[in-house]
Amino acid sequence: MKIVFATSEANPYIKSGGLADVLGSLPKSLVQKGHECAVILPKYQDMKLADTIEYVASYDIWVGWRKCYCGVFKAEYDGVTYYFIDNEQYFRRPGLYGYDDDNERFAFFDFAVLELLSHIDLKPDVLSLHDWQTAMIAALYKERYAYYEYYNDIKITFTIHNIAYQGKCDPNLLSDHFGLDNYLYYNGNCRNDGCFNMMKAAIFYSDAVTTVSPTYAQEILTDEFGEGLQNILQMRRHDLYGILNGIDYDTINPSTDPQIVKHFDKATVHQNKPINKAELQKECGLPVNPDVPLIGIVTRLTWQKGLDLIINRMEELMKRDVQVVVLGAGDLKYEEPLKAIAAYHNQKISMNLKYDFGLSCRIYAGCDMFLMPSLFEPCGLSQMMSLRYGTIPIVRETGGLKDSVEAYNEFENTGTGFSFKNYNAHEMMDTIDYALRVYNDKEKWNGLIDRAMDAKLDWDKSADAYLKVFNSLLG
């Protein structure tokens, strides 16, 4: 089968979140299963491409009434072909998103993806779209491109990584940016809540809709999690699939990770994790002490990630015998109070308000526990990485957190982590206290570590689940 993915980010080239991890590992896994995969993404200024890419073609395309230059470069990585769409007006800027003309930038990208297929004869069986940035490809395909002979019979899937970002905008952009008739706003195909809504359009037009965990697939059908799209999702519920993301076990691997101090696997974790822990304590300026439980938090500092709970209980947590390492950047609303608390407790908290890939690996390797009390979490990859590094997650039972962390059962000695149900700071604190109690029982704690490291959260099964969906569309 030939599958083309369109995405706004993908490892190893550019990353702002988990989306990049998925697009850097799912195609690779499908290739290993004998399929042909290409990934198309914008050519951003921040990519370090140097001599790794090769020029393919350039031509003009239309974006609404605009005639735009479109250059194409390519690279091979892990058996996957990556295509980079070049237009300096749109993508020669720092960062990925957050510009006033983001809608126009990704309208350009959406056309560029569809045009590329015929320009270089890359017709896929399945065109797999991801999040709002590529959502309108589904509408453009069904309303326009599908009528050209070359484009006949391509199946379109749309994957929701985060329903909180939908590409909501002015109805006039439908014709101005996408050259589509306003009728598609008035008949509701591209409309939600009085806005032109790109994600709504993708849910409406795609042949199948997937999201990144089974629990999230259920949650987004409800008023609480649907962010206004629950009705259209209800309508498409027979074509909605929740497939848990995997992580790339080759690169996320404590026995080869070049970023960590002492490698380990299941056989050596109990000897070598303490070495990583001591080095992490040193690196973070915390007292080196093997016995004090060390809790890691690696996150974007946004409302999604449960920071309200963490900030609410941080003073309380400081009354316990613990150390905490925080790594992440984001909203000042969260950065400021975290900084303030850390200033009072600099022997117990290490606050690292930045992104630092190396340090994140050393946190996964060196911590005892990993705290992730998200308000909602479509899948979440950090808890999976923690498990892989024998670091016990403490999570809220939502989305992929619920599907990837099995709650500890002290009577049966099962489970890989600790979890709580309600978005409630006291429930979180009680769960942390429970974890701290179990931590003191070395035998039980080591059992948790062993089971965590046995959890199989790679792509093998999940890639098969995608193939099953693709095959069902191809008939």
Residues binding ligand GLC (CB under 6 A): 17-19, 22, 161-162, 212, 245, 377-381, 400
Provide, rounded to whole angstroms, the least separation between the CB of residue 160 and ligand GLC.
9
Provide, rounded to whole angstroms, the least separation between the CB of residue 382 and ligand GLC.
8
Assign residue 330 a region: left if phi > 0, alpha if psi is -120 to 50, beta otherwise? Answer: left
- DSSP code string of 387-404: HHTT-EEEEESSHHHHHH
Residue labelled with tokens 């019979």: 153
Residue with smaller CB distance to ligand GLC, 377 or 403: 377
Provide, rounded to whole angstroms, the least separation between the CB of residue 49 and ligand GLC.
23
Helix (H) or strand (E) holding 129: strand 126-130
Residue with smaller CB distance to ligand GLC, 245 or 386: 245
- Other C-beta atoms lying within 10 Å of the C-beta of residue 332: 10
- The Cα-based distances of 177 to 62, 63, 171, 259 in angstroms read 10, 6, 10, 44
Residue labelled with tokens 């380990």: 264
Residue with smaller CB distance to ligand GLC, 10 or 295: 10
Residue with smaller CB distance to ligand GLC, 61 or 160: 160
Residue with smaller CB distance to ligand GLC, 87 or 162: 162
Provide, rounded to whole angstroms, the least separation between the CB of residue 303 and ligand GLC.
12
C-alpha to C-alpha distance for 120 and 248, rounded to whole angstroms: 30
Beta bridge partners, 209, equal: 158, 240
Which residue sits closest to ligand GLC, CB atoms considered? 18
Question: Are the C-beta atoms of residues 23 and 246 closer than 8 Å to each other?
Answer: no
Provide, rounded to whole angstroms, the least separation between the CB of residue 402 and ligand GLC.
12
Amino acid identity, residue 10?
A
Provide, rounded to whole angstroms, the least separation between the CB of residue 376 and ligand GLC.
8
| Helix%, strand%, coil% for the chain, nearest 5 | 40, 20, 35
Residue with smaller CB distance to ligand GLC, 273 or 388: 388
